[in-house]
Chain A
């Protein structure tokens, strides 16, 4: 048994098409579900809405599970059908027709009430998803991508290749914003801020690491670390400036200061460079050699030598000057033009501009108030010029000749013509000869006095003389004061301004015998304090026995009170004995100062262990290091690019040193403000 179902579709043009479906069986269900025998794809139809069944007594229509159907417009539950009856299943009309041969029944199915225009129009008016002309993922994606590439890639690249754009040599004119600034990966270091807006000052070639030539354009005088001919190490020759100096990491300096930079080679230096005279050093705390000041070994030949402070005999300065620190630093003061004047270090020593070195001491500024270079008791105002022996001799002669011819010289032993009342009286030739002979004799005496007695030149200088009688010539050995004793290090006085001078220069720790002798003169109060300490163990015990001897000496009242306070604090247990000892030593240093030194050949330099009181080695991570120590790497004191080596760009000259009379340079960097420049090898930024 089979049922023929004919789906009829009316076209808008009026034509009719149909599709036949033959259903085996006697029952055909109509509904929206696909497993219905007659599938009606319309949302208004239930999943299983109606059924047509061929029974023995006719063809029946029924609603499934209580669903409504209509037969010829009337709502029914079940109904027997006759040919031509129309069953309404939702919007469909199912019409029973005469079955063709071979079929038990036949129906036509037609969507009579098409989904209304209402739905179509509602949908057309509505916007049921987010996409719109603006909110379109594809368009947004393209738009954003093109914008980003154009703005952040094409524009800067185009600007780079713009032929009109050249790096401007005038560093003052380059603060305009440029598109490749958008590529700036981080803040430029402070030193390079003036050229921070000009990317192509450094980035000269696309896709090439910053070339050394770019650095050399400004750092024209930068020096090699070592002679590249002698030391052909890959670490020195095979690297770019950029390998160590990484820019764009913030305002801090871009120099390497890590210990590894140096200790990699210098830690086992003998193996790397057997011919070098340098000592091996890997860490400041562990194995830094004792300081070796550069001193004059032979002043005439100009030969210098580096001698360790720990050597025997100790290195001595050979400056050609006589200057006893102890006489000048006498605790009660020294006799000056205005009575007793106490002096201290900064009476003569001041920091040089730049803060690295101390400014030279000069006679005119520091010595002349007391050492006034007068040569004639009746004319105290007349002073000899300093630094020029010939001019001094000439001045003495001119002074006496003038005095002789002018007259009225207030010296009873002088001839009458020299003492005459000046005025209209003409003098005879014979009187003139007599006067000039006197002048000659006076000037010879004065010259001899000035140069040979220890009152004028000889106070400080070594005097030379050649010839005899009238042809005798005097001269002064040109003093050679070290500008820096340790030219290989870079000591910045301004960075140590929190310390007293005595902390480093007063206490010559490499010569304790001399220091103790001086303490004996100055520190009975210290001795009292030390003796008052309760314990007598170890180092304290030694100091105590030394103090016992010192006790009898005259003492400085300035020290008495703090020393007594200190002793009291230790005695009452307010201060542990070890700390008390430290404070006592500090007191001693502060009072003794440089006063222990009685010879100008003394080298008032601290040994390396004095530095180590504060500076320890590369102690980045250390559980045992006291936290008031400064981890210090090689770069703390030393610099990598050695000014004594040739420049890295040899066509340029090296930096010239300072020109201070009486000072010699022991190598190293310049004395004054040019220090910074010579370190980085910049001579000028090319300002026109």
Chain B
């Protein structure tokens, strides 16, 4: 029985995180610093900072843990569910640690990086909840490789047919086949479409050219156009598939590097705070 990582174990980790947030918020509200406004340098500030740092290191450790299969007492689902909820709870812990003091400095840099990491992670949760279903629907049970193979087979057949239909049509088919490239730059992958699709262009031109075919070749022409149309449909499906896949991947290109940036800036944050104690 599939259970969403969000609802995992009856929202156990949501409750855990909510408890953590509630406790820190109440302590923050009650705490009255002896000197000055609430800030990261009070006793509570240090405590919240230590808690936040521990959380960040633990959350980052997920990248290591998920590559080790079957280790430890907690399931990977436990880890992921806790990763999501404690990561969201971290926003409160870290914000209270700042005492709402922000500036153009390494400390706020670490905070901003942390917020970006959490935001990208939140998008990741959204993507993992939304796109797998869309991908399955789009591919109708086939794998991406199967779709590509079908395209390649259509190419073979299209070449065989077009070989007997004169140089202009054959040339058009051949060029379109040679030019077709799926995916491509990140932005095009994410868009899930290609306005300059050679296959689509070829379908239109071959359709135009086939009007001039002799009656004897009309049957072949129709077969060729049918093939090309089927290919366009497959190509578009692959593009959509790539688009969904890219949406599921792209946040990790923010999440992971910024996590490392965050760890580096946290190092600078902690060292600098105690260097200039």
- CB within 8 Å of B: which residues of A? 43-44, 115-116, 118-119, 122-123, 125-130, 132, 135, 137, 140-149, 152-153, 156-157, 160, 180-187, 199, 203, 206-210, 243-246, 248-250, 254, 256, 258, 260
Partner of B258, one of A115, A123, A144, A187: A144
Q: Does B277 contact A (CB under 8 A)?
A: yes
Instruction: Give chain B interface residues in 237-277, CB to chain A under 8 Å.
Output: 242, 245-246, 249-250, 252-253, 256-261, 263-265, 267-268, 271-277
Nearest CB on A from B30, distance (A): 12
A118: chain B residues at CB < 8 Å are 152-153, 155-156, 177
User: Which of B4-12, B87-95, B103-111 lies at the interface with chain A?
Assistant: B103-111
- Check A149–B268 contact: CB distance below 8 A: yes
B36 within 8 A of A: yes
Of chain B, the residue at the smallest CB distance from A126 is B182
Q: Is B41 an interface residue (CB 8 A)?
A: yes
- The answer to whether B264 touches A187 (Cβ under 8 A) is no
| Nearest B-chain residue to A157, judged by Cβ | B275
* Contacting pair B250 A130 (CB below 8 A): yes
**Hey, what's the 0/1 contact readout for B178-211 against A, CB within 8 Å counting as 1?**
0011111110010000000000000000000000
Is B164 an interface residue, CB under 8 A from the partner? no
How many chain B residues touch A (CB < 8 A): the figure is: 59
Interface of chain B, main secondary structure: helix
Chain A residues, Cβ within 8 Å of B137: none
Residues of A within 8 A of B258 (CB): 144
B92-148: which residues lie under 8 A (CB-CB) from chain A? Answer: 101, 103-107, 109, 143-146, 148
Q: Report which of A145, A182, A185 forms a contact with B260, defined as CB distance below 8 A.
A: A145
10 contacts between A and B (CB under 8 A): A119-B152, A130-B249, A132-B186, A137-B252, A145-B264, A147-B261, A149-B268, A152-B272, A185-B273, A203-B277
Closest CB in chain B relative to A161 CB, distance in Å: 11
Question: Is B52 in contact with chain A by the CB < 8 A criterion?
Answer: no
Say whether A182 contacts B261, CB under 8 Å: no
Query: Chain B residues near A203 (CB, 8 Å)?
Result: 275-277
Contacts A129-B249, A153-B271, A199-B276 known; A148 to B264 CB distance under 8 Å? yes
- Which of A132, A152, A206 counts the most chain B CB atoms within 10 A? A152
B247 CB to nearest chain A CB (Å): 10
Select the residue from B151, B265, B274 with max chain A CB neighbours within 10 A: B265
Binding site for A on B (CB under 8 A): 34-37, 39-41, 101, 103-107, 109, 143-146, 148-149, 151-153, 155-156, 177, 180-186, 189, 242, 245-246, 249-250, 252-253, 256-261, 263-265, 267-268, 271-277
Bound CA–CA A377/B137 (angstroms): 121
Task: Establish whether residues B183 and A129, one from each chain, have CB atoms under 8 Å apart when the complex forms.
Answer: yes
Q: Are A210 and B277 in contact (CB under 8 A)?
A: yes
Chain B positions within 8 Å of A149 at CB level: 264, 267-268
Is B105 a contact partner of A130 (Cβ separation < 8 A)?
Answer: no
User: For A199, what are the chain B residues with a Cβ–Cβ distance below 8 Å?
Assistant: 276
Asked whether A123 and B103 contact (CB < 8 A) given A130-B250, A135-B253, A208-B277, the answer is: no
Pair A152/B103 contact, Cβ less than 8 Å: no
Contacts A116-B156, A118-B156, A254-B36; A123 near B148 (Cβ below 8 A): yes
CB of A127 within 8 A of CB of B184, answer yes
B260 touches A126 (CB 8 A): no
Q: Is the beta-carbon distance between A152 and B106 smaller than 8 angstroms?
A: yes
- Complex Cα gap A250–B36 (Å): 9
How far is it, in angstroms, between the C-alpha of A148 and the C-alpha of B267 when the chains are bound?
9
Say whether B149 contacts A141, CB under 8 Å. no
Task: Point out the residues of chain B lying under 8 angstroms from A184, CB to CB.
Answer: 103, 105
Contact A246 B152 (CB under 8 A): no
| CB-CB nearest in chain B for A247 | B36
Whether B257 contacts A185 by the Cβ 8 Å rule is: no
How many Å from the CB of A8 to the closest CB on chain B? 22
A116-B156, A135-B253, A210-B277 as given contacts; A152 in contact with B265, CB under 8 Å: yes
